[in-house]
Amino acid sequence: MKIKRWHVWLGLIISAVFLWLAFRKVDFALVWEQLTSANLAFVALGIGFYFIALFVRTWRWRVLLSPMKSVPIQKLFSILSAGYMANNIYPARAGDLLRAVLLRKNENVPISASLATIIVEHLFDGIAILALVLLNLGQLTSFAPNSQWVDIIETSAFWVGLVFGLILLVFIGMVFLPEKMNKVSEWVIKHLVPGKLREPLSGIIHKFADGLQVLHSPVQSLLVMFQSVLIWVVEAGLYWGVMRAMRLDLTYQSLLLIVGIVNLVLLVPAAPGGLGTFDAATKSMMEVFGVNPENALSYALLLRAALWLPVTVVGAFFFVKEGISLTSDLETLQDEYKQKDARQDG
């Protein structure tokens, strides 16, 4: 898959800074000792929780797609796994585009519409993560009342919540005020977009709106919100399993807070798989809860391996099965399918 060079360099630079923050001032002999003495049975149990959460993600995607097409859950699981694999090894979240391309290839769902469902996924994930952080922030304030992290987390949560809230308002406007939003988009396209791009961009926006249809139903919207919270509560089981494997002792509420904060930090662009950002954030939060630097880093490294390796292997299997090459240009495939969709609409 072709990736823009600047994406690679930006991610590498940011990751290098965060890796330095994660690995500085630790005794690597003690880190290695902790890793080699870990109880891998608990890690395996945690990985089981992770794949349960992945099935819930698949169920949620099926709900989001249901107004357009009923797609078998086993087909969506294979596409979702391939997308997660791609996100783990390619920059700029190429796995999201891969998911849209594979869904168009196999189920004839328009690219723009499926991308809209994926953006809605991220939006609801963001809301769920913010809820986990805010509801469990008391764990941090009671454990370290004078920690500077409390103010940093509250400020970050406010700004991220504001951005997610504005995006949600735009989506709601597209769903419930389509005529007004169409007028706004038409004005923008007419006055700010080059002539040759106006017609295709207008078609993309209409297809994108199709992907938001699930928001028409309050019941389905609440179901998606429930699924999103459930995903992160269950995925925290992997954090718990690795914690038990390392013989550490934190409450599940504390782990939910760590899950939320780490995933907020992962919004920072970095190398694939959140290299560096994930490690530094996890280590720092474990230290805030009283874990020494060596144990905190060993926990972060083992957790990274458990999060990265199994889903990447499973996703690679489905990736190969789908017949997409590592050298395929996803943007070219995306354009080809969009042209086909435009011809079908015409």
- Number of structural domains (the chain) is 1
Site of tokens 């993560």: 129
Instruction: List the end-to-end C-alpha distance of the chain, in Å, as a whole number.
Output: 30
Rounded Cα gap, residues 310 and 293, in angstroms: 26
Rounded Cα gap, residues 301 and 89, in angstroms: 17
pTM of the model: 0.85
Q: How many CA atoms lie within 13 A of 93 on its CB side?
A: 12
Task: Report the alpha-carbon angle 39-29-281, nearest 5.
Answer: 70
Type of residue numbered 277: T
Range of the domain at 247: 5-345
Longest Cα–Cα distance in the chain: 66
Between the alpha carbon of residue 268 and those of residues 68, 225, 234, 251, 286, the distances in Å are 32, 24, 24, 27, 20
Rounded Cα gap, residues 157 and 133, in angstroms: 8
Rounded Cα gap, residues 280 and 292, in angstroms: 14
The SS3 assignment for 30 reads: helix
pLDDT at 201: 58
Burial 177-214 (b: 16+ CB within 10 A, else e): eeeebeeebeeebeeeeeeeeeeebbbbbbbbbbbbbb
Pick from 68, 61, 72: which is nearest to 125 by CA? 61
Q: Which two tokens stand for residue 90?
A: 């390619």
pLDDT at 269: 83
pLDDT at 341: 63
pLDDT at 136: 80
Site of tokens 């009342």: 145
Q: Block means of pLDDT (10 residues each) for the chain, length 346 residues?
A: 68 90 93 96 98 97 92 95 92 87 90 87 89 78 62 73 76 71 69 61 63 81 92 97 96 92 87 91 91 96 96 93 70 64 58
User: CB neighbours (10 Å) of residue 70?
Assistant: 10
Site of tokens 């996803």: 330
pLDDT at 327: 61
| 66 Cβ neighbours under 8 A, 6+ residues apart | 214, 220
Q: How many CA atoms lie within 13 A of 287 on its CB side?
A: 19
